[in-house]
Structure 1
Amino acid sequence: MKMKLNILLIEDDFIEVMKMNRAITGLNLPHNIIEATNGEEAMEALQQTNQLPDIILLDLHMPKINGIEFLEMLKSNSDLRQIPVIILTTSGNHKDLMECYKIGISGYIVKPLKYEDYVEKIRVVFDYWTINELIKYK
Structure 2
Amino acid sequence: MNKNLKILLIEDDMIEVMKFNRTVTKLNLSHEIIEANNGEDALQFLSKKVGLPDIILLDLNMPKLNGIEFLNILKNDETLKYIPTIILTTSNNRRDILECYKAGIAGYIIKPLKFKDYVDLIGSLLDYWSKNELIKG
Please give the TM-score of this superposition, normalised by the length of structure 1.
0.95
1:96 is aligned with what amino acid?
Answer: D
Equivalences, count: 136
Find the aligned partners of 1:32 and 1:2 in 2 and give their Cα distance: 14
State the shift of 1:50 in Å.
1.2
State the shift of 1:37 in Å.
0.4
Find the aligned partners of 1:129 and 1:114 in 2 and give their Cα distance: 23
Find the aligned partners of 1:67 and 1:50 in 2 and give their Cα distance: 22
SS in 2 for 1:33: strand
* Aligned match of 2:132: 132
Segments of 4+ moved more than 4 angstroms: none
Find the aligned partners of 1:87 and 1:17 in 2 and give their Cα distance: 14
Identical positions, percent: 62
Relative contact order, higher structure (CA 8 A, sep 6+): 2
Find the aligned partners of 1:47 and 1:76 in 2 and give their Cα distance: 13
| 1:68-124: CA deviation from partner (whole Å, max 9, x where unpaired) | 000000000101000000000000111100110011000000001000000111011
Please give the TM-score of this superposition, normalised by the length of structure 2.
0.96
* Aligned match of 1:18: 18
Find the aligned partners of 1:79 and 1:3 in 2 and give their Cα distance: 22
* Aligned match of 1:36: 36
Find the aligned partners of 1:121 and 1:98 in 2 and give their Cα distance: 22
